[in-house]
Structure 1
Amino acid sequence: MYKFSPSLMCMDLSRFKEQVEVLNDKADFYHVDIMDGHFVKNITLSPFFIQELKKITDVPIDAHLMVTNPADFVEMTIDAGADYISLHAETINGNAFRLINQIKEKGKKFGVVLNPATPLESIRHYIQHVDKLTIMTVDPGFAGQKFVEEMIGKIKEAKELKERNGYKYLITIDGSCNKNTFKKLVEAGAEVLIVGSSGLFGLDEDVNIAWDKMMDTFHLEVKDISQV
């Protein structure tokens, strides 16, 4: 069964509580982007946002740290209530094992994120510790970018590695998960789809209706794939 993770940077923040209460009965995860304006040229949500979100949901929260110095953010993100701490491979190879231990010792799940140009090979020394492997299918930083087709091969590689070695990570896709890509992503091996403006929130002002539209489209697109 495939899982869906709304990207909350794309929600209508003026209707934060209303939309979260609708999504609580539908979402498998919440995806919370934390950007520092340096690793990517944008600033979005924060550990404080997670703290407030945690007050109104039991849905697992995946904190995606798009930051240059993740060690500065990990502890406060854990304390805020995130369940998964997802770090960019490009930022952690100097202290990856220290950060993994810090996350796991607090009972949290460790996620790693790969930019489109970053190969799976870059995480081979700690891939066995990964609970959630997020493959970016757009360059990170801003919503609405063009899907990078070359990432289909990376998703297939991640699936093959997982099956061959018995790894437990969830293959998660971040970027342009929508009606144009659902089928190719699922066929390649995607397990968790992070849905933002084009996949969910932009489909209708009423997030309940938007969710139903998304699911109708998803099942129509993947109806011939046996796992669904």
Structure 2
Amino acid sequence: MSQQTLIAPSILAADFADLAANIAEVPGADWLHIDVMDNHFVPNLSFGLPVAEAVRRRTETFTDVHLMIENPERWAPEYAAFGNVTFHLEAVADVDAAVALAATLRAAGTRAGISVKPGTPVEPLLDHLADFDLVLVMSVEPGFGGQSFMPEVLGKVRALRTRIDADGLNTLIEIDGGIGVETAAESAAAGVDVYVAGSSVFGKDDPQAQVDAIRAAAAGAVA
């Protein structure tokens, strides 16, 4: 599958007291990104399944859940009604455990993604990419919004793109952290398919215009 350009606004940067209204401000988003944090795997607490379910009921947009939590084997299957569920490689014992959990999620009816922090290499995943629908490369340390983009992670994106294309896989590459117009273009050139954008979208005067601008920058770099 050829490289895609999908924009996924992250509600972590939205107004938690008015999530439905904020979601309505980005009707042209391709995906909606939902960050679940447990204050254990990452040093922050966002929300859990009840809030995520409330969001899902208020949108027709594809829902992309990012679990920044410990013990995803226990909790991830509860999110199977969402479009995609991503958990962290660092939160499971090893790659075999990650492959097994991805299989469980797929069997439950959702896509399965695996995420890596900025300091975690992707090489252990390269022979297992067919077992995942998505690989999320964190371009900031997970746990807080509004951080600056770390361009050094783009080497991981290029390694993933090379293997995905060589093997003819449908696995998507997602990037999350510090994504705006300029960094989306850099990321697209490296091979990203899905762009998670939080503070660069929500809180702006025209969130949908920001989504459109990020998409145009990424698509232009791919072209």
1:29-70, Cα deviation, whole Å (9 max, x unpaired): 111111111111001121112211121212121111111211
Picking from 197, 204, 207, the partner of 1:210 is: 207
Partner of residue 202, structure 2? 201
Distance between the aligned counterparts of 2:165 and 2:99, measured in 1? 24
Distance between the aligned counterparts of 1:192 and 1:217, measured in 2? 11
1:161-183, Cα deviation, whole Å (9 max, x unpaired): 11111121111110010133122
Partner of residue 68, structure 1? 70
Q: Return 5+ residue gaps in structure 1 as ranges.
A: none
Partner of residue 47, structure 1? 49
Q: 1:54 to 1:222 in 2, by over 3 A?
A: closer
Picking from 11, 15, 24, the partner of 2:14 is: 11
Q: 1:213 to 1:35 in 2, by over 3 A?
A: closer
Equivalent residue of 1:90, what SS? Answer: helix
Residue 159 of structure 1: how far off its partner (Å): 0.9
1:88-112, Cα deviation, whole Å (9 max, x unpaired): 1112226223312210111110101
Picking from 144, 147, 161, the partner of 2:146 is: 144
Q: Return 5+ residue gaps in structure 2 as ranges.
A: none
Distance between the aligned counterparts of 2:222 and 2:73, measured in 1? 42
Q: 1:154 to 1:44 in 2, by over 3 A?
A: same
Q: Report if the CA contact (8 A) 1:174-1:193 is conserved.
A: yes
TM-score (norm 2): 0.90
Distance between the aligned counterparts of 1:97 and 1:187, measured in 2? 28
Q: Report if the CA contact (8 A) 1:89-1:122 is conserved.
A: no
Residue 125 of structure 1: how far off its partner (Å): 4.5
In percent, how many aligned pairs have the same letter? 26
Distance between the aligned counterparts of 2:112 and 2:219, measured in 1? 32
Structure 1 runs, 4 residues or longer, greater than 4 Å off: 221-224
Q: 1:120 to 1:20 in 2, by over 3 A?
A: same
Equivalent residue of 2:20, what SS? Answer: helix
Q: Report if the CA contact (8 A) 1:138-1:174 is conserved.
A: yes
Q: 1:131 to 1:217 in 2, by over 3 A?
A: closer
Query: How many aligned positions are there?
Result: 218
Distance between the aligned counterparts of 2:77 and 2:16, measured in 1? 25
Equivalent residue of 1:203, what SS? Answer: coil
- Write the letter of the residue equivalent to 2:202: F
